[in-house]
Amino acid sequence: MRKSMAFIACVGMIGAGLTFSAGEVSAQAFIRMGSHAPANIRSVLEYKKWMRQVEKDSGGTLVFKEFWGGQLIRSPRKQFEGMMNGIQDASPILPSYTAKLFPDFSLFALPFLFRDAEEASYVGWKMYDAGLLRGLDKVYVATVYTNDNGGMHFREKLASVEAMRGLKVRAAGPGESAMIKAMGGIPVGMSITQIAQSLSSGVIQGTLAGWQALDAFKIMPLVRTHIDYPFGVRGFFIGITKKVYDVLPAKAKQALNKNSGLSLSRRLGRLNQEEGDQLRRRAREDPNRVVFTLTDEQIAVQAKKFHPFHDEWIAKTKDGAKKYQALRRFIAEYRKGI
């Protein structure tokens, strides 16, 4: 009877992603990490480094099983839903694809706010740590980070910024759609994996996207004009469902906690900024491209022009004034080097 009960218990634990070593002394957990992103892009390579370090620090009690390129869930918009439904246990999530689930993440799309991705990632983690980002109660959050400021990138060489008026431009969410409209473009909602084909077929003439995404999703060869204004960043988080995290062995939890948080957020933001800056330099040096930029003085003028976007965010967001004040405080904190 005792042997039968022990066998049933062991089978149950294996079904939950846990196995036991000889003598049932230590447990080993498996976390299925999935994403639509390809396995060989720089951001995924950084996730892999993070996972290897967590596994090492866990002393063998945690192993990540990786499913990249949409092996488990193809649609970028379905990644979080797939986590909640148990198809995968963890994933890097872009909240703007499902903005209603993560209403506070729209702050990252505010134009003329962040200087770079490391600053924005610092603020993102601080906002999460202060409990100011809704929609994350069902996941363990390892990091909140952003890409670099998005530019608008077009198939054809444009003679001026004003020439984008009337052109169809891809947007990832409502914040980006509003920005495109303000610049005179026509926003078209679609996931990042659809951009290259849509540009090639003429469904859209341009896209609003972070520079570092242009190489990762094969967009760079298809565009010739870059409006390099600080149109806002995109916030991401890496989440693990709490029902999976809660049953991890103690050493696995300790390893995750040790390697997650502010430091990881800043590192991912910094790497995204570095990659974006490399592409900016390449674009400026390419005689077949045109890049429109702003001086510091022009940025100050444009920031005033687009400040109504900030006012609207405050008005439409629950506790918007409180959250915006916290955001500004964290920006000032970062810039002072605290």
Here the tokens at position 204 are 């859209």
- Model pLDDT, residue 10: 37
- Model pLDDT, residue 27: 81
Is residue 15's pLDDT more than 60?
no
**DSSP alpha helix (H) spans, 217-319:** 242-245, 250-259, 262-285, 296-305, 307-316
Q: Considering the entire predicted model, what is its pTM?
A: 0.87
- Model pLDDT, residue 50: 98
- Model pLDDT, residue 17: 59
Range 63-66 contact pairs with CB under 8 angstroms and sequence separation of 24 or more: 63/28, 63/29, 63/30, 63/31, 64/30, 64/31, 64/32, 64/33, 64/90, 65/30, 65/31, 65/32, 65/33, 66/33, 66/34, 66/39
Looking at residues 257-275, what average pLDDT do you find? 97
In order of their start, the domains of the chain are 31-338 (3.40.190.170)
Place 3 in a pLDDT band, splitting at 50, 70 and 90.
Answer: very low
Q: What mean pLDDT, rounded, does the chain reach?
A: 91
**Residues of the chain above pLDDT 90, percent:** 83
- Model pLDDT, residue 26: 56
Place 18 in a pLDDT band, splitting at 50, 70 and 90.
Answer: low
